């Protein structure tokens, strides 16, 4: 017996970051491809981190250099990146 699955009816929307705006004090308003948006406060994450590379983003000018790459919020060529799910849920 051959078992097959038909995925042609699956309608899973891939959610991506479509726009991001720096608000201030390490907070970023993130707009997603499904129309949802969330204000994400990165400051607690940065302050708790003991990793020197991540601590470098406590420099606000460096933090503000994020870009949207392949639908995700990205700092310095993947030096700092978060999962879409975590950004969407506001959990860092």
- Domain 17-89: give its CATH architecture: 2-Layer Sandwich (3.30)
- What is the per-residue DSSP string for 52-84? HHHHGGGSHHHHTT-EEETTEEEETTTTEE--H
Domain segments of the chain as ranges: 17-89
pLDDT of 62-81, one tens digit each? 999 999 999 999 999 999 99
- The pLDDT, as a whole number, for residue 84 is 95
* Residue, of 7 and 59, whose pLDDT is higher: 59
Question: In which region does residue 55 sit, left (phi positive, over 0), alpha (psi from -120 to 50) or beta (all else)?
Answer: alpha
The overall pTM is greater than 0.95: no
């Amino acid at each position: 017996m051959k078992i097959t699955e038909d995925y042609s009816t699956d309608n899973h929307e891939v959610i991506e970051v479509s726009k991001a705006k720096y608000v201030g004090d390490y907070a970023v308003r993130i707009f997603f491809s499904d129309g949802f948006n969330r204000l994400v406060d990165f400051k607690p994450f940065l302050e708790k981190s003991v990793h020197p590379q991540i601590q470098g983003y406590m420099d606000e000018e460096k933090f503000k250099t994020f870009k949207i790459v392949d639908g995700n919020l990205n700092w310095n060529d993947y030096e700092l990146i978060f999962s879409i799910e975590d950004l969407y849920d506001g959990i860092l």
